[in-house]
Structure 1
């Protein structure tokens, strides 16, 4: 069994500005600073924010958080031209529920010169026995993250 879920979140900042945050560890720093109680905590375990970097994400204490309460992911793709970042879960999270492969794809799409869309996608592969678990796969934390980072950038536009 394999599938994907995705969501588009409109954000009122230019795509290049949003990408500057999303492409590196800055996204984790902002999530940790602005949304730790809502989304979770981020720890940088290895790397400089480029491909091969590993982060640990500890979910906010919320009923229904996937799997083990945390996940580790490795950055597998950072495409500056197309503003695409991909990670793969290597431990915890949905992988702890039994999925063999879990990829997270974040894409920043230019809407116009002052706004963009953050497309968040989770792709998963696993045994057909996981059919009941698929309903728990959610991009909601990624949507909340995009909204919070977008609001932060709007509020701080003059200092950026």
Structure 2
């Protein structure tokens, strides 16, 4: 089984500004600073923000649960020309549900000089027996992240 889900989130800041945050370590640092209760905590285990960097994301417990879920992801592609970053989940998260491969792709698409779209995609491969689990694969946390980061950058930009 192979599939992909994707969503576009409009953001009211220039593509170059949001790419500066998304391309490396700054995204994790901002998530930790402004939205740990919503998006979770980010810890960098190795690397400098380039390809090969490994990050551990620990998500807040789901409502009614005391247990946090985590995943480790490896940065596999950073394309400064096309504003694309890809990571692969190497442990935990959807990988723990039994998927063989889970790739997260974040693409920044310029709309005009003051706004862009963050296209968030999750591509997955796994055994056909995971058909019931596929409905749990969601880009909603990535959409929420784009909204929060975009709002933060917009507010920051307006104070400059």
TM-score bucket of the superposed structures, by smaller chain: over 0.9
Alignment length, in residue pairs?
Answer: 158
Segments of 4+ moved more than 4 angstroms: none
Give, in whole Å, the separation in 2 of the partners of 1:157 and 1:74. Answer: 30
Residue of structure 1 in register with 2:2 after alignment: 2
Could you say what secondary structure the match of 1:132 adopts? coil
Could you say what secondary structure the match of 1:105 adopts? strand
TM-score (norm 2): 0.95
Against the structure 1 CA distance between its residues 123 and 8, is the aligned structure 2 distance closer, same or farther, given a 3 Å change threshold? same
Give, in whole Å, the separation in 2 of the partners of 1:126 and 1:33. Answer: 34
Deviation of residue 159 (structure 1)? Answer: 5.6
Residue of structure 2 in register with 1:39 after alignment: 39
Alignment of 1:124-139 (within 5 A): 124-139=124-139
Alignment of 1:67-146 (within 5 A): 69-146=69-146
Residue of structure 2 in register with 1:29 after alignment: 29
| RMSD, aligned α-carbons | 1.5
5+ long unaligned stretches in structure 2: none
5+ long unaligned stretches in structure 1: none
